[in-house]
């Protein structure tokens, strides 16, 4: 809502304008919500022109078409799966308690309010805070997306297609829907119903160019189809089909100077718990290069960490995109003085090392990072409003080390915000491949986080004590005077004051994760027998004990 205080107009908590005209003009040039800007003043005439006038909802009711009426509560709701970012202890009877990295299924996203509802630990459709979790992709959906990505050069961007060899183009003489230059593409296939697509052009020349290109593509497609048919007939009539040989080059004859290139889609099939160790051994003999898949038309990046951990020497990224993978890339090459080369850790040459099994880290000492965010200064602003900042602290590394925490939001202070001293504890089993990342966000009027600044460092380059952390923009360029004040301690996890406490927490986390997977497996198979109840009770007991020990350790 727009509020007026004296002569000033306010939108949200702190954006002030001298007049409504200034407010509207500003949000015509700058996003009001996410990437949306103000474009048109809305009135009845505008709605009619844009084709969004009020619809005839009466057509859906029983009086006219009774067979079309559907009760709203019978319509299926879209559900998703989320992963917990932090520990949460229920405050009421209708809330879920869960540990960090817990998987919550069958989540119902509630519009408005602070929470969602989901299933975890045998409890059904209880509430939990939405900002304590992140959505993860369903395994079946992920497999379908991967199959789609392999079959189409556009991947998820492909929303439909028209078969070129079976289509023909018709130019509309009178135009259509107030558009003077319109042509229609008709497509008819044996396996699909007839399809038609109306396309409008700005000029007659543009229309003629489009029609000519489509007809040319149709002729070329027909020629290729005919060529393949002739080649198939020739192959079937050959007297010596055995002359066609498929050869596979193995690693036995490979030379260390050879380099193999993999798209990220193929590399992701190797950087996992099953094939990760084998891919690491392969990279000891040869160079491998990973490059982004062709479907990344928006120049986005994939996560390079699994590829680095599995020994790939050349991991190519879209350098023009200022995102988290590029920031991790910049942090990695800090270790080599930005020379472009970094020496792989000794652990990667150990025959027993498995990148996805923390029990194989025999020659690496685990560490515990204890961190406090004290304050910040001179934070940048995205617009006219005063920022309401909070800091997210994340450890990026091996699958079993990744963790995340965040501070509270400070209201209307981007100059010198301070936070209550709250200790964040991160247990890192493989510090050779771990990064500590600070991200400063502002919470806007819609309670959405907006990026302000970041700083990313390799864990083995950190120093203890009170430290001033210079903040960078998304391109890892310096932000003048912007910094965080933190206090950090790094201790050997096995030599800290209470080694038994550390060991107990690690064992409980592993046990809780194992029990959670077993309970989910029982629920999916609808096998809720005595064993299911036993696992459920064990899971609840492990969660309660884990939360107690975590609270004791963080004091």
Second CATH level (architecture) for the domain 358-492: Sandwich (2.60)
**Are 436 and 420 in contact, with CB atoms under 8 Å apart?**
no
Q: For residue 437, what are its two tokens?
A: 């990342």
State the pLDDT at residue 244.
Answer: 40
Please identify, in words, the CATH class of the domain defined by 1-72: alpha beta
User: What are the two backbone dihedrals, phi and then psi, of residue 201, each rounded to the nearest 5 degrees?
Assistant: -115, 160
CA-to-CA distance for 284 and 168, rounded, in angstroms?
55
CA-wise closest residue to 426 among 373, 385, 370: 370
State the pLDDT at residue 233.
Answer: 60
Q: What is the pTM of this model?
A: 0.73
- Give domain limits for the chain: 1-72, 76-139, 163-228, 259-349, 358-492, 499-554
Beta bridge mates, 428: 367
State the pLDDT at residue 7.
Answer: 84
State the pLDDT at residue 147.
Answer: 56
**CATH of 163-228 among 3.40.920.10, 3.40.220.10, 3.30.70.870, 2.30.29.30:** 2.30.29.30
**Are 259 and 314 in contact, with CB atoms under 8 Å apart?**
yes
> What is the C-alpha R_g of the chain?
29
State the pLDDT at residue 120.
Answer: 85
CA-to-CA distance for 124 and 105, rounded, in angstroms?
9
> Residue 444: CB partners within 8 Å, gap ≥ 6?
12, 385, 388, 450
pLDDT < 70 regions, the chain:
13-14, 47, 49-78, 111-113, 137-160, 177, 188-194, 228-254, 495-499, 526-528
**Are 437 and 411 in contact, with CB atoms under 8 Å apart?**
no
Second CATH level (architecture) for the domain 76-139: Roll (2.30)
CA-wise closest residue to 264 among 230, 291, 239: 291
CA-to-CA distance for 289 and 411, rounded, in angstroms?
46
Q: Do 1-72 and 76-139 show the same overall fold?
A: no
């Amino acid at each position: 809502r727009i509020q007026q205080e004296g002569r000033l107009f306010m939108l949200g908590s702190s954006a002030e304008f001298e007049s409504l005209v200034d407010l509207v003009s500003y949000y015509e040039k700058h996003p009001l919500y996410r990437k949306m800007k103000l474009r048109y003043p809305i009135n009845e005439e505008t709605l009619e022109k844009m084709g969004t006038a009020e619809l005839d909802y009466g057509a859906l009711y029983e009086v006219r078409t009774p067979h079309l009426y559907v009760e709203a509560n019978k319509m299926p709701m879209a559900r998703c799966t989320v992963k917990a970012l932090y520990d949460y202890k229920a405050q009421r009877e209708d809330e879920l308690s869960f540990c960090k990295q817990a998987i919550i299924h069958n989540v119902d996203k509630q519009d408005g309010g602070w929470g969602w509802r989901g299933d975890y630990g045998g409890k059904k459709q209880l509430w939990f805070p939405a900002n304590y979790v992140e959505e993860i992709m369903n395994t079946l959906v992920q497999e379908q997306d991967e199959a789609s990505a392999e079959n189409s050069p556009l991947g998820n961007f492909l929303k439909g297609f028209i078969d070129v060899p079976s289509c023909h183009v018709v130019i509309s003489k009178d135009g259509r829907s107030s558009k003077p230059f319109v042509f229609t593409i008709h497509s008819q296939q044996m396996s699909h119903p007839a399809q038609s697509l109306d396309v409008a052009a700005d000029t007659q020349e543009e229309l003629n160019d489009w029609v000519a290109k489509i007809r040319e593509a149709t002729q070329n497609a027909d020629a290729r189809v005919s060529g393949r048919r002739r080649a198939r007939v020739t192959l079937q009539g050959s007297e010596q089909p055995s002359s066609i040989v498929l050869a596979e080059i193995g690693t036995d004859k490979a030379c260390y100077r050879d380099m193999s290139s993999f798209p990220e889609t193929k590399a992701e099939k190797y950087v996992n718990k099953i094939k990760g160790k084998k891919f690491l051994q392969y990279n000891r003999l040869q160079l491998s290069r990973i490059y982004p898949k062709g479907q990344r038309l928006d120049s986005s990046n994939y996560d390079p960490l699994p590829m680095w951990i599995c020994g790939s020497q050349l991991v190519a990224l879209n350098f023009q995109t200022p995102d988290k993978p590029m920031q991790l890339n910049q942090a990695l090459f800090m270790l080599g003085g930005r020379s472009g080369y970094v020496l792989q850790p000794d652990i990667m040459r150990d025959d027993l090392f498995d990148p996805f099994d923390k029990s194989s880290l025999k020659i690496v000492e685990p560490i515990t990072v204890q961190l406090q965010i004290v304050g910040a200064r001179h934070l940048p602003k995205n617009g006219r409003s005063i920022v309401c900042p909070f800091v997210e602290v994340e450890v990026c590394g091996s699958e079993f080390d990744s963790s995340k925490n965040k501070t509270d939001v400070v209201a209307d202070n981007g100059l010198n915000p301070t936070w209550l001293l709250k200790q964040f504890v991160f247990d890192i089993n493989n510090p050779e491949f771990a990064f500590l990342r600070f991200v400063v966000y502002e919470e806007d009027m819609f309670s959405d986080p907006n990026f302000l600044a970041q700083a990313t460092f390799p864990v083995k380059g950190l120093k203890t004590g009170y430290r001033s952390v210079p903040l960078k923009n998304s391109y890892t360029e310096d932000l003048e005077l912007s910094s965080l004040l933190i206090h950090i301690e790094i201790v050997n996890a096995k030599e800290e004051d209470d080694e038994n406490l550390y060991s107990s927490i690690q064992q409980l986390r592993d046990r809780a994760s194992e029990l959670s997977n077993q309970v989910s497996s029982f629920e999916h198979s609808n096998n809720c027998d005595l064993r299911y109840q036993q696992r459920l009770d064990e899971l609840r007991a492990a969660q309660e004990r884990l939360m107690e020990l975590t609270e004791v350790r963080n004091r």
